[in-house]
Amino acid sequence: MNKTLFIFPGQGSQKVGMGKDFYDNSSLAKEMVEKASERIHVDFTKLLFEENDQLEQTEYTQPAILLVSLIAHRLFTETCKTLPVSVLGHSLGEFSALSATGAMDYLDAVELVHQRGLLMKKACEGINAGMMALLGLDDARVEEITCKERELGKKVWAANYNGDGQIVIAGNKDDLSSLEPLFKEAGAKKAVLLPMSVASHCPLLSSAQANLEGYLEKWLKDDFAMPVISNVTAKAYQSKEEAKRLLSEQLISPVKYKQSILHVESSTDMFIEFGGSVLKGLNKRISQKPTHSIVDMKSLEEVLALF
């Protein structure tokens, strides 16, 4: 029997057309899209399947990715009853993972991450927030540079540990831009500002924490079918109280994705990614274990054939 670990992508995995094959070929997927549209008064068929500006706005990006991930997960589990060893997600994906454990209804999760996006957007209004991807520097060097620059008054923090030599930093956009020569001098192959207007996983989002905790209290259940690996600690949790604390901290703490995969690698034979393939790409740099992505009906059937 395969020991599996379920993984769920975060922001950056969105693209127009995602989930359309599920919607066109599954009455369950169609129903989930329609109910999500009613829940937050957003036409997900337009958001997901037609060219639009909203899909890149965090309050819409987040529910769109989560919904497609949970459709893929539901279609898989309708046929395959295997339970994963644990689940984990990248940033937003941790909320998809929580819902996959049974700790949150998928419609509550759709509304929760929509509100999370609005809270993040509000926290970053008027502070010129942004994020920058760095390639070719090790974690310690990035931490050393950002720490030194914070002592000089700049607002820059490590935000996502995606793999060896692949890290994202967050903060004030002008401060990030000003560090580009320093990173290049230190040996970075690339230092690229990302097209984002929020600064995720850093203290600039602290004003959003209390409200997010309120939503978590409202919609989370103390009913976890399996453990969730925390982005904050790279360790497992399995209760509502832990989830509330850790997901609030996740707003202002870096995503330890690389560390999480290394922590769970020995306990699994394979990873299954639901609704995207970005994590499959990251995992190739981190783990020797295979990752299979479910993004449409064909890939769903291919993964089901493994069981």
Reported as type and span, the H/E element at residue 4 is: strand 4-8
Q: Are 284 and 278 in contact (CB under 8 A)?
A: no
Reported as type and span, the H/E element at residue 236 is: strand 236-237
Q: Are 6 and 94 in contact (CB under 8 A)?
A: no
Among 13, 69, 86, 91, which one carries the catalytic annotation?
Answer: 91
Residue with tokens 């991450």: 113
> What is the bridge-based pairing of β-strands 190-193 and 228-229?
unpaired
**What DSSP state is assigned to residue 12?**
T
Token output for 205:
């989002």
Q: How many CB atoms lie within 10 A of CB 287?
A: 18
Q: Is 201 a catalytic residue?
A: yes
Among 69, 201, 248, 287, which one carries the catalytic annotation?
Answer: 201
Cα dist. 306→127, 172, 279 in Å? 49, 46, 19
Q: How many CB atoms lie within 10 A of CB 223?
A: 12
Q: Is 96 a catalytic residue?
A: no
What's the maximum distance between 2 C-alpha atoms anywhere in the chain?
57
Please count the residues of the chain: 307
Token output for 177:
């831009």
Cα dist. 209→32, 201, 213 in Å? 29, 11, 6
Q: Are 76 and 292 in contact (CB under 8 A)?
A: no
Phi then psi dihedrals of residue 233, to 5 deg: -110, -15
Nearest to 243 by CA among 267, 266, 227, 264: 227
**Active site (catalytic) residues:** 91, 201
